[in-house]
Chains A and B, each alone.
Chain A
Amino acid sequence: MRPFSVYVHVPFCATRCGYCDFNTYTATDLGNQVQRDTFDQVLISEIQLAAHEMGSDRRPVETVFFGGGTPTLLSGKALVAILAAIEQKFGFASNAEITTEANPDSVDQAKLDQLRAGGFTRISFGVQSASPLVLKTLDRTHTAGAATAAIEMARAAGFEHISADLIMATPGETDQDLRDSVDLVTAGGVDHVSAYTLIVEPNTPLARQVAAGTVASPDDDDAAHRYELVDHLLTKRGFTWYEVSNWAKPGGRCQHNIHYWLNDDWLGIGPGAHSHIDGARWWNVKHPRSYSQKLTAGDLPIDQREVLTPTQIRMEQVMLGLRTASGLDLAAVEGLDDQVIAKLASDGLLDEAALAGGRLVVSTRGRLFADAVVRDLLG
């Protein structure tokens, strides 16, 4: 049986950030249609229903990941209750990795202690940047100081792994800002960093600002440069690159995400959450209200599903595998064109040593062209 994970989507945020296109809602967005303080019960009802539907397909859970949104907008008690429901229905594998995302300003020591005691092993903070100017452009409400404090509190609470998210190449960010950001999170003692170049997603306030010219358009060349810089800085501090936007200290890799990239199975709980089990993908209805209504009616809140064809499975395998440091086993993928591979290698996009060992792994330069490499490989 393939490894099995659970993702829980908490679709709430205190405020909406201008760059964000995730499926999340502020209290104002929701009005009184959805009760935030009883939403854990709705999520638990989906867990129970899904577990029932899976029947004998149920397996012990290797990893759980609470994402959002801002999961920590739910009470510590609620988060622990949801986790307990998962454990009750599926059981946990030994050394299961249990992560929650958190905003630096949505946690305090008591809550972190409560989460740790309730079974969470890993916490991932949305630090984004050490620069006040960048944080302001991103509409983030926390300060760099709050981020440092949150990481410190998480260490005190005893989390096994602490991760920080950074956003690079925000208009107005300087190289020094990025150095400061890396210093902030590494000094705090995180063992994992996700660093993303800013994407202007369509239909976001940021996209409108860029269109109106009030915020400069993020520059791809700047983004490439910052990427190289962040890779350099993290490598120097003992981190190792393992996926396009992810670096970890030894033992610090996010097991949950690795399951995604290996195309393993997972169940997604919550509005808009995606699932992938046994060659099928499906996703839930996006709005918390319609999501709740379906569950109240006793139905799974599924919006759409697709059964993957062998071609699509192969496509996903190549697309996901090439993002990672372990890459693809050449023997495991059929029909790749040797000439294309040779050309990619001679263009310096593939790691020669890995290739000699029968694996396709992007080179350092190739990481920034991973999508192009995938397109070429898939012809």
Chain B
Amino acid sequence: MPLPQPGATDPAVIRNFCIIAHIDHGKSTLADRMLQATGVVDARSMRAQYLDRMDIERERGITIKSQAVRLPYRGQDGGDYVLNLIDTPGHVDFTYEVSRSLAACEGAVLVVDAAQGIEAQTLANLYLALENDLTIVPVLNKIDLPAAQPEKYAAELARIIGCDPDDVMKISAKTGEGVPELLERIVRDIPAPQGDADAPARALIFDSIYDTYRGVVTYVRVIDGRIATRDRVKMMMTGEVHELLEVGVISPEPVPGKGIGVGEVGYLITGVKDVRQSRVGDTVTTAQHGATQALGGYRDPKPMVFSGLYPIDGSDYPELRDALDKLKLNDAALVYEPETSLALGFGFRCGFLGLLHMEIVRERLEREANLDLISTAPNVVYRVLNDEGVELVVTNPSEFPTQKVDKIFEPIVRGTVILPSEFVGTVMELCQHRRGLMLGMDYLSEDRVELRYTLPLAEIVFDFFDQLKSRTRGYASLDYELTGEQEADLVKVDILLHGDAVDAFSAIVHRDKAMAYGVMMTGKLKELIPRQQFEVPIQAAIGSRVITRETIRAIRKDVLAKCYGGDITRKRKLLEKQKEGKKRMKMVGRVEVPQEAFIAALSTSDTTSKK
């Protein structure tokens, strides 16, 4: 019997599934093992963790962009199956992308480290999968580890999913133990896709990647009908029509074909250059006799966290602009516009899905464009009503109204923390300190707890995760989802250096925390700014009201005691060096501030270690 070919595969033999797992719980290793077990990659050409393409992903052990790979599989019943493994991004900022990947599947393999148990992120994605009516195949991985406690965590998983502990598979992706059984289980338990082959084509975009040579590569799951080469396709949300240059499947390299049909997963190439023209969640149909009803669930990517990005060397500004333009082709969620800062010069105000997204963008800019960047404190999106009832959207402290405000709304999240029960006290304290409201607490097992809180997003974006990790020795995991907004008593704190506000240090904070922010920032700056010939007050102020003050005492002496014949060359060289250093000084009013001081004051790592 010939193997099922792309475009001519009976949906009954297709199994579309993804792997839900926490960072380091072995998703990529398992995917590698499946690639090997099904024979699409031989051991020799196997590159460790084949599916993670980008260097950053490889180094950080996380998967940012999902892909889909088609695995031909001969079952123990002798039948030929097609397993489509859809990889999912593994972080909180990409919940929407995860939900679209899940929507492309009928089942999910839930992978949990047998030595660590389930983490908050995994739990959140599991709930997402259950909402999408996916069939869950629970798996404990790393059973070869000496620290593995398969019985304990099988019970934990069974309780969460509502299954029998015996249904939890125990495997080692590393040694391959249990992987053949898992593949059988996927075939047995996960339902085959269903769709109407004769209906107008509808395919869900669950990923879209910019490739330098091919342009945008769009990953789709066909729900109804069929997409074939030489079709003209229409993106239903944007309404744009494109020539279809190539259709194919990944196995694990791209294999162009004639088309893909109901239940199949593959890629499309239309020649567009910007992932915004091929958006995750959109529905692809044919331009002629196309569908009229799009698949549900599309959402515009919405930046939730904003920050200023500046080149440390001001002359790198054009390079930063070019690098952002390039990155944008591959990142539909990234937004930015030029911004000027008194302290930092020319840069960009950038919007991100969340903190990790921000970190990834920054790292890629630094790495791929070889730029040294400085970023201002992250800012969430506030809705401000002034006393005339006019509404403003504030993504930057500089936009905060100077006149009286009537109401301010801040975004809030539902946060879930999973942690060993011994740390519950300290984490509750942290959440309370961050204005959290407890929603509930559950024991997942006798010593593992799930805590649920409503928290302001602003409190999470500022070093919450670092704090959580340090308070729990790295054992806690966090997940959050936006749930809405709440009115809050927020103020803008300005930092004044010798009477001049330094824009990069302004922050929107809760009134109760204004003092703490002021004390922290003025204290830091006092340490970082060299003494000047005059006394320099550093003040924190709300509007015109000063709330805290530090003083840099005037320097009284700036002269070397001796300069005789043998000292002249050395002193001249020192002067030449100082002249270079002066170029890196920025003037804030009359105060000379070394660039390094701005960078150090804006880095959050310092505050973490001080607290």
Q: Residues of A with Cβ closer than 8 Å to B?
A: 7, 196-197, 199, 220-221, 223-225, 227, 244-245, 257, 260-261, 266, 268, 272-274, 276, 281, 283, 306, 312, 315-316, 319-320, 323, 347, 367-372, 374-375, 378-379
Contact = CB atoms under 8 A, between A and B. Distances in A.
B562 interface: yes
A273 B562 CA distance: 16
Given A375-B575, A375-B582, A369 B569 contact: no
B564 interface: yes
B558 interface: yes
Contacts of A320: 563, 568
A244 B559 contact: yes
A273 B533 CA distance: 36
A212 B358 CA distance: 43
Contacts of B569: 274, 281, 283, 306
A115 B217 CA distance: 93
Contact of A274 (B555, B561, B566): B566
A275 B192 CA distance: 91
Given A223-B557, A372-B558, A315 B572 contact: yes
6 contacts: A220-B556, A227-B557, A266-B565, A272-B566, A315-B576, A369-B533
Interface in B514-560: 533, 553, 555-560
Nearest to B568: A316
A374 B568 contact: no
Given A315-B575, A316-B572, A319-B572, A276 B559 contact: no
Contacts of A260: 563-565, 568
B575 A374 contact: yes
B608 interface: no
A320 B533 CA distance: 21
Interface residues of B, number: 23
A197 B576 contact: no
Nearest to A276: B565
A243 B396 CA distance: 53
A199 B559 contact: no
B579 interface: yes
B559 A268 contact: no
Contact of B558 (A272, A283, A371): A371
Contacts of B553: 221
A371 B558 CA distance: 6
A20 to B, nearest CB: 12
B536 to A, nearest CB: 14
Contacts of B558: 368-372
Contacts of A306: 569
B556 A368 contact: yes
B214 interface: no
A82 to B, nearest CB: 18
Contacts of B565: 7, 260, 266, 268, 274, 276
Contacts of B561: 196-197, 199, 244-245
Q: Which of B557, B560, B564 has the most CB of A within 10 A?
A: B557
A179 to B, nearest CB: 20
A262 B565 CA distance: 11
Given A245-B562, A323-B559, 14 more contacts: A196-B561, A197-B561, A227-B557, A244-B559, A257-B564, A266-B565, A274-B568, A312-B572, A315-B575, A319-B571, A369-B557, A372-B533, A372-B558, A378-B575
Q: Which of B559, B560, B578 has the most CB of A within 10 A?
A: B559
A7 B566 CA distance: 10
Contacts of B560: 199, 244, 371
Contacts of A225: 556
Nearest to B569: A281
A186 to B, nearest CB: 20
A341 B564 CA distance: 26
Interface in B375-430: none
B556 A319 contact: no
A256 B224 CA distance: 99
Nearest to B564: A260
A225 B557 CA distance: 9
A273 B567 CA distance: 10
A378 B579 contact: yes
A224 B560 CA distance: 12
B610 to A, nearest CB: 23
Contacts of A375: 575, 578-579, 582
Contacts of A283: 566, 569
A370 B561 CA distance: 10
A315 B576 CA distance: 9
Contacts of B563: 244, 260-261, 319-320, 323
A9 to B, nearest CB: 8
B566 A220 contact: no
Nearest to B558: A372
Nearest to B559: A370
A305 to B, nearest CB: 10
A313 B159 CA distance: 83
